[in-house]
Structure 1
Amino acid sequence: MRLPGSLQGRLALGLGLGLAVLWLATAFATATLLRSEMNEVFDSALEETAQRILPLAVLDILDRDEEGVSQRIASLRQHEEYFTYIVRDDLGRVLLRSHSADIAVFPPYEDVGFSQTATHRLYFDAALRGTITIAIAEPLAHRAEVARESLMTLALPLFVVIPLSLIGLLLIVRRSLAPVRDFSGTLSSRGARDLSPVGADSLPDEFLPVSDAVNQLLDRLRRTLEAERSFTANAAHELRTPVAAALAQTQRLMAETKDATAGARAGEIETALKRLNRLSEKLMQLARAEGGRLRRETASDLRPVLCLALSAFERTAGADRIVAEMPDSPVLSDFDPDAFAIMVRNLVENALRHGTGEAPVRVRLTREGLFSVRNDGPALAPETLTRLTARFERGQNTSADGSGLGLSIVQAIADGAQARFSLHSPATGRPDGFEARFQVPLAQEDS
């Protein structure tokens, strides 16, 4: 038998089974004691009946005109007779018997007292110096039936008490463990954005050490993540100034030098510095996505933010490379506009970089807040899709000039804003292509 996995189930099952075993043991002991007491009562009834009937039988026999005549006592009405008796003389002749008495049941008289056969319990008594005897018999089946009914009376409440007890125990245990469930629910709802201590005021004393250990772990984890984010943001910020200065000097060198070899080397340095500059920008975006508040108290229309973000690509990639579609009505959301713009830039930049040739990138924002970016290209394997949101991961086009951080930044934004982000290849309704979908959290409409 497999025990329940929950503490609540184990307590209820253990207490319920313990109560059932205790009740059964009590019922068995009570039935054993009751049977012994019942035997004493029945034996007393046998003896008392014999002592009442025998004097009357003696008077009746002495008043007869003829000796040795057997007489059966007639029944006044039909009834079930548990006690039967016979009266005999010293020669063993039956002088008197009850209407249901079976002579074969009664053994010969030996002495005053109790006797027992395989089927009956008997009591013998004598009068007139043993010349007249009486034997009263009671079927053992009658006693067994009475004992069985008494035992059933004791055991019957088990079928009601045990289920009710289990239900009561389950409710008590469930109510007692409610603070533990609340603590577990609060803890499971926490993420990297909220590592504050979990309240444990209502927890039972037995769980307080667990609560303290969990809160200490959350505190250590919070400090570790803050240190990592701080290092990433500071390092990326501090890199921007020297990288910008080095890039300016390199471009000046390229403009002033007449040596073709030196100019080519300067061009390579410029390319590397630009890549480093983009990497520092991506690192700052990642720190912003992982550490900042991505939801606001007020809602705003996301369409102007989308238009502003796409305008930068239209200047660099051309107006024909991006086909945008958005609703005429406002798309209101409490999503932080800066985070939304970062998400748009990364997804569109990824589509432009990895798209096929000059095929347009299709950007769409629906009234329901579903933002999608689709580009042409060969379909990606499912195992490739699953790892694209990891840091510094690239797709099949590893020669593309990218940092490998764009999709991981979008994933971090989705996690921080409690939004849904998914990748699909092939694109919806096509045999090839790549599509990224981001479900923007919409503002609740006033009822």
Structure 2
Amino acid sequence: MSDSLGSLQGWSLEQRIRRRLLVAFASLWVLSSAVALYVVEDETAEVLDSALQEVGQRLLVLPESALRDGEQDALFMAIGTHEESVVYQVYGPTGAMDLHSHQAPAAPLDPDTRDGFRDVRGWHVLTLNRSDGKRRIQVAETRKHRVQLFSRILFWLVGSLAFVLPLASVALAVILRQGFHALAPAHAELSGRSADDRRPLSTEGAPDELQPWLASVNGLIARVGSLVDMERIAAAETAHELRTPLAAARAQAQRLLDVTTEETARRHAEALVRQLDRLTRVATRLLQVARIESGATLRREPVDLVVVARLVVEEFPEAIGSERLRIEVSGHPAEVVGDIDAIAVALRNLIENALKHGGKDAWVTVLVEDGAIYVVDDGPGVPAELAGQAGTPVRTRHHRRGRIGAGSGDHQRHRPAGRRTPRATVADRRQPGVRGDPAVLSRRAERGA
């Protein structure tokens, strides 16, 4: 079973079609050669028989003086040394041989004296008798000559296939490759799309044979798009529905905290408030993910990355107070074109991951430099084998040197802030720590983007 599956892997449709066409071409060539040989043999035999009849008729009307010279023996025609394929014999009224070609045998070519063609001892013999009975001629052609003639015809009919077949193979390869170029537009359109581009493939200009395939692909894209939309809608609705009861529960927990004076009960109430705040953040993040994934409301407008960085950093007052989080600005003005909310979501997630997974004593620096935002920490770093997996959707990795991933957060980091894919990297430096680059966007002013 595995052998049969392996034999189906890596095969070329172009080569398979070319081989089959060449086999069909060669088979048809041999078949047509056989038919042609049959027709040529029949027509050639008729022509050769007609030539024998013409020679015999000329010999029948020769004058007697051309046959004998007085009382001499029978004459024979000798024109140098050459190979004769046709010989003749001329007999007089007494049955004696009066004239013969120099390679004609002494015995009669055909013992039968009746008119007509007969094959006798390797000869194809024609016998003709004059109407007055005074002369009989026999004209013959060797069977070997006819066999050689037809063999040569067959050789050139079939043998030429050895020259034509390689040329046909090259021609078929060129024609098939040109034909398969009809797939190039669909391939280029698919390979050049982003992951969230679910537009149907264009069928304009595609051949009829490709239309069903394109229709199936477009149907699949539509079904996948419907499933993704349903998933996003469900996540957004779930998160939205959770926010109201979570807000009510937090209000009740906060009220309980305000009216409770017993120390143990207050600690439990504070823990409850923190957990409710965490659930609220998770629900908010789900809404953000659904919004970024859909791209329906993403805006393209000038964004000052310094302002975005400062606003997001201010959302972590505890880290700022303990000097674990700081912001640095260097380089040229960092104005880009994008969606400020999407950039803020990605940056907020990077800062949260750095504070959470970098270690309790790690410091985190948000660096705005030359049109990009970097989040750098001095934690234990990311192993090389895991750095390439950072940002994979819903991926969590644990390692003794640290852990990376935060579910939906990492997924957000790889989404474009302006509907174009940014560069998002996790670089493990020589010294401890990790630098995360959430977005590199085109500049609007100084570079004319």
2:306, 2:334 within 8 Å by CA — same for their partners in 1? yes
Which residue number corresponds to residue 376 of structure 1?
Answer: 379
1:106, 1:137 within 8 Å by CA — same for their partners in 2? no
Residue 25 of structure 1 deviates from its aligned partner by: 2.3
Which residue number corresponds to residue 65 of structure 1?
Answer: 70
Please tell me the residue identity of whatever aligns with 1:389.
T
Q: SS where residue 112 of structure 2 aligns?
A: coil
Partner residue of 2:53 out of 47, 50, 66 = 47
C-alpha distance 241-148 of structure 1, shift in aligned 2 (>3 A) = same
Please tell me the residue identity of whatever aligns with 1:68.
D
Which residue number corresponds to residue 282 of structure 1?
Answer: 285
Residue 43 of structure 1 deviates from its aligned partner by: 1.4
Residue 53 of structure 1 deviates from its aligned partner by: 3.4
The 5-angstrom pairing of residues 403-442 of structure 1 reads 404-413=407-416, 417-423=420-426, 427-429=428-430, 434=434, 436-438=436-438, 440-442=440-442
Residue 320 of structure 1 deviates from its aligned partner by: 5.5
Which residue number corresponds to residue 38 of structure 1?
Answer: 44
Distance in 2 (CA, whole Å) between partners of 1:151 and 1:233 is: 80
1:421, 1:437 within 8 Å by CA — same for their partners in 2? yes
Percent sequence identity over matched residues? Answer: 29
* Structure 1 position 316 matched with structure 2 position 319: yes
Distance in 1 (CA, whole Å) between partners of 2:22 and 2:409 is: 58
Residue 355 of structure 1 deviates from its aligned partner by: 1.0
Which residue number corresponds to residue 229 of structure 2?
Answer: 226
**Count of aligned positions:** 437
2:301, 2:339 within 8 Å by CA — same for their partners in 1? no
2:14, 2:177 within 8 Å by CA — same for their partners in 1? no
Q: For residues 419-446 of structure 1, give each alpha carbon's deviation from its aligned partner in whole angstroms, at most 9, with x where no partner exists.
A: 454556xx2446x755545563536965
C-alpha distance 211-390 of structure 1, shift in aligned 2 (>3 A) = closer
Moved more, 38-47 or 210-219: 210-219
Distance in 2 (CA, whole Å) between partners of 1:336 and 1:159 is: 64
Which residue number corresponds to residue 159 of structure 1?
Answer: 164
C-alpha distance 433-371 of structure 1, shift in aligned 2 (>3 A) = closer
C-alpha distance 2-14 of structure 1, shift in aligned 2 (>3 A) = farther
Distance in 2 (CA, whole Å) between partners of 1:24 and 1:443 is: 70
Moved more, 28-37 or 238-247: 238-247
C-alpha distance 415-35 of structure 1, shift in aligned 2 (>3 A) = farther
Distance in 1 (CA, whole Å) between partners of 2:118 and 2:89 is: 15
Q: SS where residue 125 of structure 2 aligns?
A: strand
Q: SS where residue 126 of structure 2 aligns?
A: strand
2:343, 2:439 within 8 Å by CA — same for their partners in 1? no
Q: For residues 304-363 of structure 1, give each alpha carbon's deviation from its aligned partner in whole angstroms, at most 9, with x where no partner exists.
A: 534554455587346854576776235665443322222122122212211134333465
C-alpha distance 216-126 of structure 1, shift in aligned 2 (>3 A) = closer
Which residue number corresponds to residue 346 of structure 1?
Answer: 349
Which residue number corresponds to residue 267 of structure 2?
Answer: 264
Which residue number corresponds to residue 35 of structure 2?
Answer: 29
Distance in 2 (CA, whole Å) between partners of 1:59 and 1:301 is: 126
Moved more, 253-262 or 287-296: 287-296
**Gapped regions of structure 2 (runs ≥ 5):** 1-6
Moved more, 104-113 or 226-235: 104-113
Residue 240 of structure 1 deviates from its aligned partner by: 3.9
Moved more, 363-372 or 347-356: 363-372
Q: SS where residue 71 of structure 1 aligns?
A: strand
Residue 46 of structure 1 deviates from its aligned partner by: 1.6
Distance in 2 (CA, whole Å) between partners of 1:3 and 1:253 is: 67
Moved more, 207-216 or 353-362: 207-216
Which residue number corresponds to residue 3 of structure 2?
Answer: none
Distance in 2 (CA, whole Å) between partners of 1:80 and 1:314 is: 117
C-alpha distance 233-45 of structure 1, shift in aligned 2 (>3 A) = same
The 5-angstrom pairing of residues 148-297 of structure 1 reads 148-151=151-154, 156=160, 159=164, 162-163=168-169, 166=172, 170=176, 174=180, 178=182, 182=185, 186=189, 193-198=196-201, 200=203, 218-240=221-243, 242-244=245-247, 246-247=249-250, 249-251=252-254, 253-292=256-295
1:370, 1:439 within 8 Å by CA — same for their partners in 2? yes
Q: For residues 218-259 of structure 1, give each alpha carbon's deviation from its aligned partner in whole angstroms, at most 9, with x where no partner exists.
A: 545444433432333344345445534544553454355321
C-alpha distance 134-441 of structure 1, shift in aligned 2 (>3 A) = farther
2:376, 2:433 within 8 Å by CA — same for their partners in 1? no
RMSD: 5.0
Distance in 2 (CA, whole Å) between partners of 1:147 and 1:191 is: 68
Residue 60 of structure 1 deviates from its aligned partner by: 1.9
Q: SS where residue 116 of structure 1 aligns?
A: strand
Partner residue of 1:116 out of 108, 115, 119 = 119
**Gapped regions of structure 1 (runs ≥ 5):** none
Distance in 1 (CA, whole Å) between partners of 2:199 and 2:308 is: 33
Residue 84 of structure 1 deviates from its aligned partner by: 3.6
Please tell me the residue identity of whatever aligns with 1:231.
A
Q: For residues 101-133 of structure 1, give each alpha carbon's deviation from its aligned partner in whole angstroms, at most 9, with x where no partner exists.
A: 264998464334334367543334456987865
TM norm structure 2:
0.72
Q: SS where residue 56 of structure 1 aligns?
A: coil
1:286, 1:412 within 8 Å by CA — same for their partners in 2? no
2:305, 2:368 within 8 Å by CA — same for their partners in 1? no
Residue 262 of structure 1 deviates from its aligned partner by: 0.9
Distance in 1 (CA, whole Å) between partners of 2:341 and 2:365 is: 22
Moved more, 393-402 or 367-376: 393-402
